[in-house]
Every structure is written in C-alpha cells, then in structure tokens.
Chains A and B, each alone.
Chain A
Amino acid sequence: MKHPFHLSGARWAAPVSTFALAASLTIPCLLLPLTASAAEVQTTPAATLAQQFTLKNGMTLIVKPDRRAPTAVHMVWVRVGSMDEVDGTSGVAHLLEHMMFKGTPTVKAGDFSRKVAALGGRENAFTSKDYTGYLQQIPSAKLEDVMRLEADRFANNTWTDEVFAKELEVVKEERRLRTEDKPHARLHEAMDAVIYQADPYRRPIVGWMSDLESMTADDARAFYRRWYTPTNAAVIVAGDVDVDAVRVLAERYYGTLPVHALPQRKPRTEPEQTGMRRLDFKAPAEQAYVALAFKVPGLQPAGLPATAAASTDATSEDALALTVLSAVLSGYDGARLPRALTLSDKPVADEAGAYYGLTARGPQLFTLYGIPAVGKTATEVEAALRAQVALVAKDGVTEAELTRVKNRWVAGEVYKQDSVFNQARLLGVSWINGFPLGADQLLLERLRRVTAAQVQAVAAKYFGDDALTVATLLPQPVDSTRKPRVPAVGLRH
C-alpha cells in the first residue's frame, strides 16, 4: 500500500525492484508503538520493559532489553530535522547527516563505516521533517565499540570543504533519484509548499535543488554546532543488553560530552487556512493521481496523561478518533475506501486510501488519495473519496468495523515484538515527539475507548473545504526525444 508519506532521506538505500515505488522509510499509521495491556499480551520472558534515564549532561538514554538473540541495535536520535532549517538552506539537516560519516580528528573519512563493518555491524542514518537518526545493528558484544564511535562523531565531526563538495554531489543525485524522476514525489513536494505558508513543513527534507546548488560547507557546520548538543538527543539501545551495564557505558561515552545552549525554536505557526487550495501538477505519467489534505489536529504529549481515565481535552479525543477513522477507511484490504472505490462492480479508482499521522513535532494532515480507473477522472475520484467521509459523518460506523480495527491493533502489538529494530525505532519517534515511556500502552487504551459516535463526529467536523488542499497529477505523454527537464550542470570543483 502506498500512502503519501514524508520521504526520509537515508544515507544509503538498497537497490529496489523496479516494480516497487521508492525505497523509503514508510511511516506507519501510528507513530507511537501500541502495546496491549498485559491482560491481553503475555509478556515475553526474554524481553522486559524499556527504561529511560537522563545522563549527567542532560542527554536521554532509553534501554529496551530483548534477549532472544545475541544482537543489539544502537541509535542516536537528534531532535532536529528539516523543520528546523531556514529558507535558503533547505536540505542542510539531511546533508549534515551525510557529513557525519566523514570523520573526526581520530577517525578519518570512511573509517567510521569500515570500523562498524569490521565489528560485524550494519549501519545507516535517516532524516525526516522532525528528526535525524543514526543507527548500528551489531552483535551485542560490540555495543561499547559503536557507542565510542557514535559519541565521538556526535561531538567531534569535522571534514574539509573538498569532502563536503563531493558529498553534496551525492546528495543531489539522491534528490534526483528520490524526487526528480518520480511524479508522485514531486507532486507531494509541490503540495506541501501549497498546504503550508509559514510552517517549515513546507520545505522538502532533501532540500530544493537551488538550495543544494548554493549550499556551503559552513552552512552544514553551523547547523551542526547549533543543534548537535546532548540535551537535544537521545541514545536508544535495544536487544541483548543489561540495563545497568548500558547505563554505565552511556555515562562514560555520552554523559561526558560538552553541552551548549540550544537556540530558541521559533514557532512559525501556520495561519488559519480560510479557503480551498488547488494545485495542478503536470508530469510524464500514464495514470492520474489526486491527493486531498485536510488540516486536522494531532495528539500532543499533554493530551495523553499518565492515567488513561483522566479527563482529556476535546482536541486530543478528536485526534484519537481521526486515527480510528483512517483505519476504518483504509486500514485493511476490505476497508471502506478500497471497497467502495476500487472493489465495486464499476470501480472509479485503481487505488484509494487514507493516511493520518497522529503524532509529530509539527502540524497534522488527514490525507485521502486515489488513482482513477481507466475512463474515470481525478475529479470523480476526489468526489468519491469525499463521499465516503460524508457517509461516515451521516451514518457513522458499525460496531463490527470498530472492533475489527481495534483487534488488528492488538494483534499488531504481538507481531511488533518480533523486530527489535522496529521497537527501537518507535521508541525514538516517541521520544522525538515528547512522549514519556509507556505512552504506547496509554495510547492503545485510549484508542480502544473511542466510540462510533466520536468517529462520526470527527468525520463531520474536519472535512469541509476551508482547510483543504487538493493536488491533481495531470499525466503528460512521455516524450523520450525532448530535452531532459533538469538541465545538466557542471561538476563543482
């Protein structure tokens, strides 16, 4: 299932089958891990609950033991992403992520990767609108080695202008690969810039090409000095580890790093949208595509108090109900959107779905999208998508649907335990968004209490025209003889 996720630039992507879309970190429907209460899910003897600590210098440490195999995952999450950039240097957070592999006074360029490989490890890094992350998967006996390496580059990353210039070319190629030749990616990039006027979510993670062209080594260095400080980062370790031992190592390698004050984060609040925005986007393609993004509330940490029974604000309740709505609309094969639009006798769409993120550092969207069936138009798909939401607003959802999506979440909690890597990733996202440990269980309990009436109410409340942006892909013939759209430019030396 494709949904209009925010692409995350990773430092390296494996080759993908040409039949798949972009290899990217797809953000799951719930950005917080859901854990069913112990009553439903037997705790795994090999695993124990995650624990969180604050190191001496203010850096956060989260440890999640899972002793099933002698491996561990080690990550550093920095609360800085493309949303923290300023105009003219879009893409610098992601570019810096690339530069973090280019050395320190004691580890020369390329050696970080060689050392991790020699330990039997795998590594990568990723950047999103909200965060930047660095990870290694290693035999658990090698945890100390990667901690030493990672702490060193967190504090002492350094490289020459020449090395920077070369890596900048790599990042431009990454932009061409992920965005320039992919009509849907370009549409969503253009769409974000129309949805948001003041909010920094308007800029692409990988950066505008013109900003990459004019990026300087000092832009990246300044960004690093500004944001990479222990109080703005968390170390996450999961797998075959002992909590106390990890804590000692973390204090030794991370707890001793120098701290500087973080710059003030400017709110750049998006003004209220007071009318529909439309965007036509022409690109070489066979099939049209339409995406509708409605501005809706998200869930903030304050909206998830430590006791689920505590009364909460209406906005948070709405966010939870929107999560249930998105699952009812497109959370499984026979959900409402595919069933009504693509699996009917006379389908209007070849594909249809909904996507809602729930938690993020920035504002939230509820997105509906579809690909018209042969002989149908994007306009018809747009109407059909909105009609399905209107139907929920008018008639509500059935108890069977409600139970079905909730049961799938509970089952998903069990399956989720199979991947230690994924558990560490979810702990990272949760921390980035400001949630405490255990928020996942609170969230599941709250979601299970969402009623059919609440789902009906949010369907009626948030899907009008005024906070809506519609983007339509208008397919153009593929003309192999015309000049490439992107002019070739000389290598920068």
Chain B
Amino acid sequence: MITPKFIAARALLVCASALFGMHSVWAGIPIQHWMQPSGVRIYLVESPAIPMVDVQIDLDAGARRDPIDKPGLANLMAASTANGVRASGAGPALDEHQLSEAWADLGASFGGSASADRMSFGLRSLTYPDLLDKAVALAARQLGEPSFPEAPWLRDRPKMIASLKEANTRPATLAARAFSQAVYGSHPYGRETTEASLLRTNVEDLRALHAKVLRACAAQVSIVGALNRAQADALVAKLLARLPQGGCTAQPAVPEVAALTAASEVRIPFASAQAHVLVGQPGFKRNDPDFFALTVGNHILGGGGFTARLTEEVREKRGLTYSVYSYFAPGMHAGAFTIGLQTRPDQAEQALTLVREVVTKFVEEGPTEKELQAAKDNLIGGFALRIDSNKKLLDNVANIAWNGLPLDYLDTWTQQVERLTVADVRAAMARTLQPNRMATVVLGAPEPSR
C-alpha cells in the first residue's frame, strides 16, 4: 500500500508479549551486556553461523511523546532520515537517491520508525569486513547527520495525506480508529496522524526532534549476528560516533491510560460485505508482575490459534467468521486488550453476543485444568520456535533490553509458565478485565432489533 518510507504514523502498539522459555536440551541463550563511556547500553547475542548481522537501536522517543498537535512526528522523523545526509567530515552530502543506491550497492539496509513507546533504527548487513565497515559508516551518517531536505518532505506529504484518506475508506481502519478512541480517550496511545497534523508539520519540526532525541547516552543497542564482543563494541562506537555525546536528561512522565468507568458502544453504519466487531478495554503494563499469567490466559482465550476458546466457539462450532482473536498489548502504559472479528453483517449481533458470553465466562471462571495444561504444553514445548532465527532472537533481545528484564529471562521463561495455576490465571484475568466495562465498536451491521 505504502512503502515503509511513507507509512503514515499511528500509535501502533508493538505487542511485546512474546513468550520465551528454555528448551531442555539447549544451553541458555547467552546475552552479553555492557555499557560504553558514552552511556550507550549494548546487548549482544553471538550467532556465528551465517555471515550477517542485525542491529537495532531503541530510544525512549516513541509516539507517546509526540507533540499533542503533531501525532506521528517521531515516526516521520525516523523514516525521513532516508531523505538524505548532509556534508560533513565523514563525506559529501548525499540525496535520497544516492543514499538508496548506496544501501542497495552494499547489499545492506537501514531504516527508522517509531511505535507508541520506542523510536527504533535497524541495520542489516553482511559481515564481510569491507562491506560491514562501509555499511556502519553510512548508517552512522544517516543516524547522526540526516539533512531533512524540504523538497522531498513537501513532495511526500500529499502522498501521506492521500493514503490516510484511502485508509479511511476501509471498514477495518474506521473500526480500529473508533475502538482506539473508545479505549484510550485522550491518551497519546490513541492519537492518530491526520491530514491537519501533517499540514502542521514541517522539516524544522523533524530537525528539532532529531536534535533533541538522538543521543548516544539515550540509546540501547541490540545485536544478533556473526560478531564477537570486541567487534560489536567497535561497531556500536562507530555507529553512534556522529551523535552528540552526553546531554541526556530525565524525560517528563507520560500519564497512564485511564481505566474505563462504564461500558460503551459505538455503531457505525457502513456498506461493507462484513461487519467489523471490536471489544476491549485498557489492558496491562509490561512491567505487571502478572505478565505471564495474563499472557497464558489470553493464549487460552483467543491468542492461541485454532485451539483458543474464541476460535472454537465463533469459528469452529458456528462458522461465523474466518478470523477471531484476542490480544493484550502491554507497553510502557496499559495498551488495549482487544477482541476482534469480522462477519457477514446480519450475523454481527449473534457473534457479539457470543464473544461477550465467552469473555465474561472466562473472566469469571478462568481456564480449566485441561486448558491450562494444553497451553503450557504448547508454549513450553514450542519455546525454541521463538528464538530459532537471528531475526526472532533480535526481537527478544531488544525486548529484554527495552523492558529491563533480567539477562537470563529466556533461560527461566518456561519455569515462569510451568508454575502457573488455574487460580493464578483466573485471578490475573479477573483483576485486569472487567467485561461489564468494555468498549464495543460494531461497524457495518444493521441496527439491532431490540
């Protein structure tokens, strides 16, 4: 639909609720962690088998910190680093075309984006020394010396506006937007880029934000690939060399997501082949001590594919939908708990009633012993599937780094799942979810006859 460079930002929550445990025959995943004098925190997993490396830089500069009148600014700034670099001691100025050709010639890629919590930059390169040196040097320039030229910004802004308008013709977008409003209210997690906010944003905003947030001392760098610690250390020093050193100050606190005080229901008329139904409320924060119980609970309720209760009831038993799911989105704040499905318009009421019954019963009674055991078997048995590629490992290492989890998190995970009881799961779900105070959005269904 839109190339990554032009993805209009919205406060998308990256679900960091991946589950990890430990494969019984496996030695642990050794995560090396150290700090450089600049203050940057480095996390490394050596993966020597393939001559490649993935690097992820994370900063506390996500969409939740966007100016209230410019939602999406963080993502736009990070993505716009691809529009060119300025001349410096490191080399001549490069425009967007020279930059993209340089990356293509290196067989490497580099790009930035921002989610609700984090601003992230990712580098992927081969580790042949000549190529890697050039790739890191180029990434350092794009990170530290982007030019944010005005012409590409003015050229691309109408594209972003057009793609926003296009998205607003789609039932799924409209339903999600209404749901986000109902759950988050005025919280930054619910703010969305609009045509007006894009028109208010100019390259000076991009430059100012870059100058404010891109600092070595604010970065944490996660690395997975064919590098040892000394090589990784040198890579990070070079990667961040063109950023200001020092100057990190405590950031202002962002308010929490307010709990819903009452149930709400929004019905949006829309002429579509399917009605879209969304039900939910603010969920929990990533640092919640009940993280494991809630994650396992949701796996049983609606996160575990074909064996989940929602799938069983709505799809398998009744054929009402192709896709029904539930998920938590824990972050720095309580991301939404969301149940979603699409169904033929005349079936929307039946499906909604069913979903409410299923979630109410689950919160009241919790899972059965059999369900809990099945979830444990799947999650513990399948742990290795969560870390069987560099890419998956990187996501996990960055998650550990970002959330300040213990370095042996991956090694102790299965124990954390194994020790859960039905009572633990039930209590955690009941504490977190209140089915009588959930927001409901139904788009594209006929008015219910009541």
Chain A positions near chain B (C-beta within 8 angstroms): 1-2, 12-15, 17-21, 41-42, 44-47, 68-71, 101, 110, 113-114, 117-123, 137-139, 142, 165-174, 176-177, 180-182, 239, 284-287, 332-334, 338-339, 342-343, 345, 347, 350-351, 373-374, 403-405, 407-408, 410-412, 414-415, 417-420, 478-486, 488-489, 491
Report A-chain residues with C-beta under 8 Å of the C-beta of B319: 165-170, 173, 491
Which residue from chain A places its CB closest to the CB of B104 in the assembled complex?
A: A332
Report A-chain residues with C-beta under 8 Å of the C-beta of B12: 17, 19
16 A–B contacts, CB within 8 A, in A order: A41-B51, A42-B51, A69-B384, A110-B316, A120-B381, A121-B381, A142-B381, A171-B322, A176-B342, A177-B274, A180-B272, A342-B159, A373-B162, A480-B269, A486-B273, A489-B344
CB distance from B169 to the nearest CB of A (A): 5
Report Cα–Cα, A418/B390, bound state, in Å: 6
Q: Is A14 in contact with B107, judged by CB distance below 8 angstroms? A: no
Quick check: is B231 within 8 A (CB to CB) of the other chain?
Answer: no
CB distance from A279 to the nearest CB of B (A): 21
Q: Is A70 in contact with B382, judged by CB distance below 8 angstroms? A: no
A-B contact count (CB 8 A): 257
Report Cα–Cα, A150/B50, bound state, in Å: 32
Interface centre among A47, A71, A110, A171 (most CB of B within 10 A): A71
State the 5 A-B residue pairs at the shortest beta-carbon distance, nearest first. Answer: A120-B381, A411-B107, A169-B319, A180-B273, A120-B382
CB distance from A355 to the nearest CB of B (A): 14
Report B-chain residues with C-beta under 8 Å of the C-beta of A347: 155, 159
Report Cα–Cα, A46/B390, bound state, in Å: 14
Report B-chain residues with C-beta under 8 Å of the C-beta of A419: 389, 391
CB distance from B276 to the nearest CB of A (A): 9
Please choose the segment from B212-220, B236-244, B372-380 that sits at the chain A interface, where 4 or more of its residues have CB less than 8 A away: B372-380
Q: Is B51 in contact with A177, judged by CB distance below 8 angstroms? A: no
Q: Is B320 in contact with A181, judged by CB distance below 8 angstroms? A: no
Within the complex, which residue of A47, A113, A411, A486 is in contact with B306, where a contact is CB–CB below 8 Å? A113
Quick check: is B361 within 8 A (CB to CB) of the other chain?
Answer: no
Q: Is B49 in contact with A68, judged by CB distance below 8 angstroms? A: yes
Within the complex, which residue of A70, A120, A334 is in contact with B101, where a contact is CB–CB below 8 Å? A334
Report A-chain residues with C-beta under 8 Å of the C-beta of B269: 480-481
Q: Is A118 in contact with B374, judged by CB distance below 8 angstroms? A: yes
**With A13-B323, A19-B173, A139-B382 known to touch, is A407 a contact of B105 (CB < 8 Å)?**
yes
Q: Is B26 in contact with A176, judged by CB distance below 8 angstroms? A: no
Q: Is B381 in contact with A334, judged by CB distance below 8 angstroms? A: no
Which residue from chain A places its CB closest to the CB of B172 in the assembled complex?
A: A18
**With A70-B23, A345-B151, A411-B107 known to touch, is A1 a contact of B3 (CB < 8 Å)?**
yes
Report Cα–Cα, A217/B292, bound state, in Å: 43
Report Cα–Cα, A47/B51, bound state, in Å: 13
Interface positions, chain B 98-113, Cβ under 8 Å from A, are: 99-101, 103-105, 107-108
Q: Is B126 in contact with A414, judged by CB distance below 8 angstroms? A: yes
**With A19-B8, A70-B384, A286-B168 known to touch, is A414 a contact of B50 (CB < 8 Å)?**
yes
Q: Is B344 in contact with A176, judged by CB distance below 8 angstroms? A: yes
Which residue from chain A places its CB closest to the CB of B383 in the assembled complex?
A: A120
Report Cα–Cα, A21/B158, bound state, in Å: 20
Report Cα–Cα, A20/B163, bound state, in Å: 11
Q: Is B162 in contact with A374, judged by CB distance below 8 angstroms? A: yes
Which residue from chain A places its CB closest to the CB of B275 in the assembled complex?
A: A484
**With A15-B327, A333-B5 known to touch, is A404 a contact of B101 (CB < 8 Å)?**
yes
Report A-chain residues with C-beta under 8 Å of the C-beta of B234: none
CB distance from B311 to the nearest CB of A (A): 8
Quick check: is B325 within 8 A (CB to CB) of the other chain?
Answer: yes
Report B-chain residues with C-beta under 8 Å of the C-beta of A333: 3, 5, 82, 100, 103-104
**With A173-B321, A286-B166, A333-B104 known to touch, is A113 a contact of B307 (CB < 8 Å)?**
yes
CB distance from A95 to the nearest CB of B (A): 13
Report Cα–Cα, A415/B305, bound state, in Å: 29
Report Cα–Cα, A21/B385, bound state, in Å: 26
Interface centre among B97, B168, B170, B444 (most CB of A within 10 A): B170
Report B-chain residues with C-beta under 8 Å of the C-beta of A339: 97
Report Cα–Cα, A165/B318, bound state, in Å: 10
**With A119-B381, A120-B383, A285-B169 known to touch, is A177 a contact of B342 (CB < 8 Å)?**
yes
Report Cα–Cα, A332/B98, bound state, in Å: 12
**With A284-B169, A418-B391 known to touch, is A181 a contact of B101 (CB < 8 Å)?**
no
Report B-chain residues with C-beta under 8 Å of the C-beta of A482: 271
Q: A69-B387, A343-B152 are in contact. List 10 more A-B contacts (CB 8 A).
A: A19-B173, A41-B51, A110-B306, A113-B306, A169-B319, A176-B274, A286-B162, A334-B101, A407-B107, A414-B52
Within the complex, which residue of B1, B103, B272 is in contact with A484, where a contact is CB–CB below 8 Å? B272
Report A-chain residues with C-beta under 8 Å of the C-beta of B306: 12, 101, 110, 113-114, 117, 123
**With A177-B274, A177-B322 known to touch, is A117 a contact of B107 (CB < 8 Å)?**
no
